[in-house]
Structure 1
Amino acid sequence: MHTPPSAPLLRRTLLLIAAASAAPRWVWAEAPPLMLPKVYKPGVALHGYWVSEKYDGVRGYWDGKQLWTRGGQAITPPAWFTAGWPAVAMDGELWAGRGAFASAVSTVRQQAAADAAWRQMQFMVFDLPAHGAIFDLRLAALQELPLPPWVQPVKQSRIASPAALQALLHKTVQGGGEGLVLHRGESLYVGQRSDDLLKFKPFDDAEARVVGHIAGQGKYKGLLGALLVETPEGLRFKLGTGLSDAQRRDPPPVGSWVTYRFRDTNPSGIPRFASFLRLREEV
């Protein structure tokens, strides 16, 4: 004979069903292990490195079946966008064009973004994480993949000298690009920050987590004066410049991640002349 569940058990079951319905459809147990760049410093031997443009979009990881953000959230483009993609892992950037970072983030974050918005997007692929060979060979394998027009292998080239690298950076930034990436040809793919992958930009940037809000004074009385942020290494500092009036009225919430730009660090590791750049909404 079937015994009906007790009232408390029934309520608990209904709550679990509701919670499951409200949760994202796909979430990684942890963020995908992506290779992350360190900062290029003068003196690096350029021989053996490939150089490409650093695309200012949303990092995307295709695991062969599903597209993910760097933070481990599922991306839900229209079915046509990923139809026919190869069943191999691809690491790249979801990019809406130079100067269109906000548009790329807005499109990726929406569970059901307009088809027209995704028509403006490209997946710029720069690596094959699961290939197992050195980057020189991974790059050759990437060029051989059958890909639709909106999935593009990132153009890679060799640079002969620091002067040529500086000239390419200047040309890229003048054209609206963010900067350059250098990738050592003999390197293996490692899911961590590595000297084999370097970013080169007119300024340094990094990410930090918001841990507090500091009230403003003077002309900012009643508004945010500065963000108190903490780096992944545990260093805390104030981030007060670069914020718009709208952001001071409605600041990034505690717990969110922000990108800031800076010029060098002091002996304690605190960034010098740090300035708020943007909220990292896809993290």
Structure 2
Amino acid sequence: MTLLLLVWLLRFGLCALAPIAMASPPSVLLAREATEGIDPAPYWVSEKLDGVRAIWDGRALRFRSGRPVHAPDWFVQALPSQAMDGELWLGRGRFAELSGVVRKQVPVDAEWRAVRYLIFELPDAPGDFSQRVMAMRALVASADVPWLGAVAQARVPNRAALTARLAEVLADGGEGLMLHRADAPYLTGRSDALLKLKPWQDAEAVVTAHLSGQGRFAGMLGALEVRMADGRRFRIGTGFSDAERRAPPAVGAQISFRYRGLTATGLPRFASFWRVREPL
């Protein structure tokens, strides 16, 4: 019996334990929402990319969850040894396509040839963010790797210029802007040193029920009942395509939704379905 158990563990148990070997989620800087009327002068401003965040520690590329990114060898072997934080990116409006590429256990070279790694931070690097911006530009230039780039950072003098820049990005299909304090040292956790500026806010919730549609949506999804991290539940009835109403996100799935401010009771106002949040 003992021998049989040992054989089973050797054949199957080690594989079952493999996920436990996953690295802990790396500590990274997380953004807060920018307040209305913010003065952009103390910040570097960049476009908020609709990509997949990836952290390079000098040896391995990982998602925010700590799971490895199964990129082709040629993609990671060309990266410099310095730690970097950035986004895997295909282009505006191509998040779903990108997610499908980078989540594959066996990478497809032809798909990865279109992926870029655009960095916006150097973990644990000295100096303030202005100095790290210059260091990132120099690092990318010296590495001379076609798929490695630095997110474009610019100084914006006033609110009017910031509003114009946001409108330009949105008109071109972008999501919004990021503002990073120029004088900030390298930080981790959620901080006012990094802000996101968008025409909407977004958050995550877990699907708890499907509510049937009526009228044009008869026989399809009418709304999702979802649960937020604090346990409160509410309904999302807009933002779905007809295909998504016919095959809605499963109960238990985590979704991202967009909204505009909060109600008097603290629930998201004008919540609209955005996309299923795939585990990475």
* Equivalent pairs, count: 276
Q: Are residues 256 and 34 of structure 1, via their aligned partners in 2, closer, same or farther at CA, if it must alter by over 3 Å? A: farther
1:101 is matched with which residue: 87, 95, 107? 95
Partner of 1:214: 210
Shift of 1:27: 2.3
Paired residues of 1:88 and 1:130 also in contact (CA < 8 A): no
Q: What is the 5 A alignment of 1:87-126?
A: 87-126=81-120
Shift of 1:5: 4.0
Structure 1: distance between partners of 2:37 and 2:211:
43
Paired residues of 2:40 and 2:159 also in contact (CA < 8 A): yes
1:62 is matched with which residue: 56, 59, 62? 56
Q: What is the 5 A alignment of 1:166-185?
A: 166-185=163-182
User: What's the % identity of the aligned pairs?
Assistant: 43
Q: Which amino acid aligns with 2:89?
A: W
Paired residues of 2:62 and 2:69 also in contact (CA < 8 A): yes
Q: Are residues 36 and 268 of structure 1, via their aligned partners in 2, closer, same or farther at CA, if it must alter by over 3 Å? A: same
Shift of 1:133: 2.9
Q: What is the 5 A alignment of 1:138-149?
A: 138-145=132-139, 146-147=142-143, 148-149=145-146
Structure 2: distance between partners of 1:28 and 1:77:
17
Q: Give the root-mean-square deviation of aligned CA atoms.
A: 2.2
State the secondary structure of the residue aligned to 1:6: helix
Q: Which amino acid aligns with 2:161?
A: A
Paired residues of 2:203 and 2:258 also in contact (CA < 8 A): yes
Partner of 1:224: 221
Shift of 1:251: 2.5
Q: What is the 5 A alignment of 1:1-283?
A: 5-20=2-17, 23=18, 27-29=22-24, 31-145=25-139, 146-147=142-143, 148-210=145-207, 212-219=208-215, 220-283=217-280
Unaligned ranges ≥5, structure 1: none
State the secondary structure of the residue aligned to 2:123: coil
Q: Are residues 192 and 228 of structure 1, via their aligned partners in 2, closer, same or farther at CA, if it must alter by over 3 Å? A: farther
Q: Which amino acid aligns with 1:213?
A: A
Structure 2: distance between partners of 1:256 and 1:71:
17
Unaligned ranges ≥5, structure 2: none
Shift of 1:57: 1.0
Q: Are residues 164 and 62 of structure 1, via their aligned partners in 2, closer, same or farther at CA, if it must alter by over 3 Å? A: same
Q: Which amino acid aligns with 1:51?
A: V
Q: Are residues 24 and 120 of structure 1, via their aligned partners in 2, closer, same or farther at CA, if it must alter by over 3 Å? A: farther
State the secondary structure of the residue aligned to 1:38: strand
State TM-score, norm by structure 2. Answer: 0.90
State the secondary structure of the residue aligned to 2:47: strand
Paired residues of 1:224 and 1:249 also in contact (CA < 8 A): yes
